């Protein structure tokens, strides 16, 4: 599956019982429906192993296509006014580099 933002091939990574797709190029994460909620429900201790990088505002403002459905993802404001990209068709979520760390700390 291709990254919605930089179009590099994403790699599956397991975090506990949750398999997410991570872009090795831009460090973005794609979560299928329910994966982000499952991971967050485990508390911040369950997500410490996820590697963090600095937030890229330029990439955050790009509109990406859902790697599952191919439709344009739509931004919405999450906790702390964090701009999160979501697919309106399959409910997948893409977090740009650094956004997962912000989400966990909010």
Q: pLDDT truncated to tens, each residue of the chain (106 aa)?
A: 999 998 999 999 888 788 999 999 888 999 999 998 888 887 555 555 565 555 556 677 778 999 999 999 999 988 878 889 999 999 999 998 888 877 777 6
SS3 24: coil
φ, ψ of residue 11 in degrees (nearest 5): -115, 135
Strand order in the sheet with 11-15: 11-15, 18-22, 29-31, 93-95, 83-86, 74-77
72 in Cβ contact with 65 (< 8 Å): yes
SS3 10: coil
């Amino acid at each position: 599956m291709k990254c919605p933002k930089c179009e590099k091939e994403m790699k599956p990574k397991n975090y506990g019982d949750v398999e997410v797709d991570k872009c090795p190029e831009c460090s973005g994460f794609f979560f299928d429906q329910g994966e982000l909620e499952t991971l967050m429900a485990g508390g911040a201790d369950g997500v410490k192993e996820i590697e963090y990088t600095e937030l890229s505002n330029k990439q955050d403002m790009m509109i990406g296509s859902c790697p599952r459905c191919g439709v344009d993802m739509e931004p919405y404001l999450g906790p702390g006014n964090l701009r999160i990209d979501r697919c309106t068709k399959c409910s997948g979520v893409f977090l740009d580099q650094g956004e997962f760390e912000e989400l966990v700390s909010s």
